[in-house]
Amino acid sequence: MMRFLFIALASLALFASPANAHKLKVFATVKGDHIAGYAFFIGGGRAQGTKWIAKDASGAIVAEGTTDMEGTYDFAPPNPASSDITITVNTQEGHIASAHVAADRLGGTSMHTPQTGSQDNVLQTSPANPAEAKPQLPSTSQLEPMIEAAVQRQVEPLLERIEQMDSHMRFTDIISGIFLIIGLAGIGLWARSRR
């Protein structure tokens, strides 16, 4: 019996994954011309007074600092951002987590360029008779940042909620762990009864 218990404990120690009770996670989002976010622990609590560092794709430091009492950080990336930025939070207690912000979210690389002779010129021409004048519509270059800002305001709470949902231990996780232990004990008892 003791030998079986020792083998079971040794196998659990070998195949056990790291505990997630205090796993650190980082949330990052683009707010206008700034990158803002926070660091938090799974199971609750923010990483307060923790050092963070932001690096570009080449590994050069873009910004660094310490999270505030709510675990938040905020910085202005270089303008224009030429590469993706990775924000890493390190609690110096073995908890390290990173978040990635793509350069196209920062306006570093444009996904498309307006063609010459586009509708920008057509929309801004004025008719000969002012009575027939239609209200001027914003140009594509003016409209694009407004749309991006509006979409970001709507999507940001969803991204934050998804990050929080992924990080919490669920009731099904606890039940699964209990039944895994019961199943392993059952396999052990079955193997023992075959002898």
**pLDDT confidence of residue 124:** 46
**pLDDT confidence of residue 22:** 64
Is 20-108 CATH 2.60.40.10? yes
Distance, in Å, from the CA atom of 168 to the CA atom of 172, rounded to the nearest integer, reads 11
Q: What is the H or E stretch that residue 62 is in? A: strand 61-66
Q: Indicate if the alpha-carbon torsion angle 112, 113, 117, 119 is positive or negative.
A: positive
**pLDDT confidence of residue 23:** 81
pLDDT for 126 beyond 70? no
Instruction: State phi, psi for 52 to the nearest 5 degrees.
Output: -130, 155
Distance, in Å, from the CA atom of 79 to the CA atom of 75, rounded to the nearest integer, reads 12
**pLDDT confidence of residue 66:** 93
Distance, in Å, from the CA atom of 192 to the CA atom of 195, rounded to the nearest integer, reads 6
For the chain, percent of residues with pLDDT exceeding 90? 23
**pLDDT confidence of residue 113:** 37
pLDDT for 168 beyond 80? no
Distance, in Å, from the CA atom of 145 to the CA atom of 94, rounded to the nearest integer, reads 40
- Nearest CA among 4, 38, 44 for reference residue 21: 44
Neighbours of 132 (CB within 10 A): 8
- What is the rounded end-to-end Cα distance, in angstroms, of the chain? 12
| More confidently predicted of 3 and 34 | 34
**pLDDT confidence of residue 119:** 42
| Tokens 């050092």 -> residue | 51
Distance, in Å, from the CA atom of 149 to the CA atom of 25, rounded to the nearest integer, reads 25
**pLDDT confidence of residue 142:** 82
**pLDDT confidence of residue 115:** 38
Q: What average pLDDT score do residues 161-173 get?
A: 71
Instruction: State phi, psi for 88 to the nearest 5 degrees.
Output: -120, 130
- For the question of whether the overall pTM of this predicted structure is more than 0.75, the answer is no
**pLDDT confidence of residue 190:** 93
- Show me where the domains of the chain are located: 20-108, 170-195
| Tokens 């079955």 -> residue | 190
The tally of CA atoms less than 13 A away on the side-chain side of residue 119 is 9
